[in-house]
């Protein structure tokens, strides 16, 4: 018999950056736990194809699944889009801020454009999505906001200045919002994934190899994982689903302002 405290039946969720990878997997996982789920991503043909596949997987679980177009860097689009999601789903109880990018480069080579793109997506976009969702959650006296951060919210890494800064900021933003919104029955938490096998990671392999000597002391990516990650491999996105379901559930009613680190032991070293 399933544990009722993790049942999301009747809950309405929105997952950003859900065309593929972690976002798509978390969206489907929430549906498997009983939630109806809206998903969004950039409006490119590739992202729409991915969103269509995510929606199909959600509906295959017997739940309502819808896709909307939202670039979280476009702040003026966030509030009306989230209101649309609320109307289409019949409510909004859960927000998963997963949309994120990285621009890997030595600190001396980071451009203002790179910095702004990472911050606008990973931190600014997450804040304004949370703000828009909270405006809908406060009147109902209930909400779950989950920010997908990183193990690099806790530790640094060479050639990732903007990314580390954005994820560290996202973790402290999580804490600040949790203090403001706890009185309204809204919890705000984060998940801190370690290296996870996603299409974005695979696409970045060739680029990351260019920085191996500078950032890893000559170690290959696989060698770095063996040295820094007790698990000795990248994680599968499915290994993050349990954390998301817990933080989205009734069982997490007293858990707020926290980051649940799922990093294969990276930050335990």
Q: Catalytic residue numbers?
A: 163
Label residue 197 exposed, middle or buried (CB < 10 Å: 0-12, 13-18, 19+): middle
Which tokens go with 31? Answer: 């549906």
């Amino acid at each position: 018999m399933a544990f009722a405290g993790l049942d999301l039946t009747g809950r309405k969720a929105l997952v950003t950056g859900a065309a593929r990878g972690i976002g798509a997997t978390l969206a489907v996982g929430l549906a498997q736990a009983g939630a109806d789920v809206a998903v969004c991503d950039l409006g490119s043909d590739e992202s729409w194809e991915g969103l269509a596949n995510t929606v199909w997987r959600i509906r295959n679980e017997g739940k309502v699944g819808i896709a909307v177009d939202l670039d979280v860097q476009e702040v003026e689009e966030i509030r009306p889009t989230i209101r649309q999601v609320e109307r289409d789903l019949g409510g909004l109880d859960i927000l998963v801020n997963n949309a994120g990018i990285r621009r890997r480069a030595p600190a001396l080579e980071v451009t203002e454009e790179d910095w702004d793109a990472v911050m606008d997506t990973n931190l600014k976009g997450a804040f304004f999505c949370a703000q828009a969702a909270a405006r809908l959650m406060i009147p109902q006296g209930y909400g779950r906001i989950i920010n997908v951060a990183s193990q690099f919210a806790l530790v640094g890494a060479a050639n990732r200045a903007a990314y580390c800064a954005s994820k560290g900021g996202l973790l402290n933003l999580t804490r600040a919002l949790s203090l403001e919104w706890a009185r309204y029955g809204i919890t705000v938490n984060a998940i801190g994934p370690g290296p996870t096998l996603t299409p974005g990671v695979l696409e970045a392999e060739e680029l990351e190899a260019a920085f191996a000597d500078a950032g890893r002391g000559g170690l290959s990516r696989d060698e770095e994982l063996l040295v820094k990650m007790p698990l000795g491999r990248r994680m599968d996105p499915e290994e993050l689903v349990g954390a998301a379901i817990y933080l989205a559930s009734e069982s997490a009613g007293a858990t707020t302002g926290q980051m649940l680190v799922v990093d294969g032991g990276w930050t335990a070293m």
